[in-house]
Amino acid sequence: MKKIYIISSLIVLIGIASGISYFLVRDANAQIPEGITLLTMNEEKYTFGEDTDTIKLVEFIYTHCPDICPTTTQEMNLLRKDLIKKDVYGKKVQFITITIDPYRDSPEVLRKYMDNFGLENDGNWIFLTGDPANTLEEQQKIKNVADTFKFQYRDPGNGFYVHSTFTYLIDENNKFIKKFPMGEDFKKDEVFEAIMDEL
């Protein structure tokens, strides 16, 4: 009986270890496909894969979010100020915020969102949405970027999206480095250290 218990325990442990390994390998190989083009808050085209000079912190949000999205943006803004002090923000590090709600989050709405947080429109923190002329196709592009990191979201029909709660650090080639929790669990000092370790 004891032998069966030990064997069963080993099988469970091996299963858990295999599962963890799978997710670690999956994340480590994640990379945003090149050639995906979205629209910036300034109504300019942004194509993933063209900027190979900076590492990027990627945040997925929607501006009607009542809690976790604005909290994350606020924490990222504090992180931005720390990176400015180290003279790396904009030169070696950029932030990218992608809306999962291109239907409502037009470039104008994104600019207002930036204003609400006191964010400079200097090209170092890029907000992305879909082209309103073809929103269904643009929604698929956003989903393709989100799927890279297994970031999941859906609108249950009331306009308040259910979504994953991670931000992502990617390298100059848009390849996954590390992920961090959103909202109150976003620890700017931890993210700061991770960014500095990569520079």
For the chain, what are the domain ranges?
Answer: 1-30, 32-198
Residue type, 37: T
Q: Structurally, what CATH architecture does the domain formed by 32-198 represent? A: 3-Layer(aba) Sandwich (3.40)
pLDDT (average), residues 98-125: 96
Burial of 115 by CB count in 10 Å (0-12 exposed, 13-18 middle, 19+ buried)? exposed
> What confidence score (pLDDT) does residue 28 get?
59
pTM of the entire predicted model: 0.85
Q: For residue range 54-85, what is the model confidence (pLDDT) as tens digits?
A: 999 999 999 999 999 999 999 999 999 999 99
Residue type, 90: G
> What confidence score (pLDDT) does residue 136 get?
83
The overall longest dimension of the chain from CA atoms, in Å, is: 69
Q: Residue 17: is its pLDDT beyond 50?
A: no
Residue 172 DSSP symbol: T
> What confidence score (pLDDT) does residue 5 get?
54
> What confidence score (pLDDT) does residue 99 get?
97
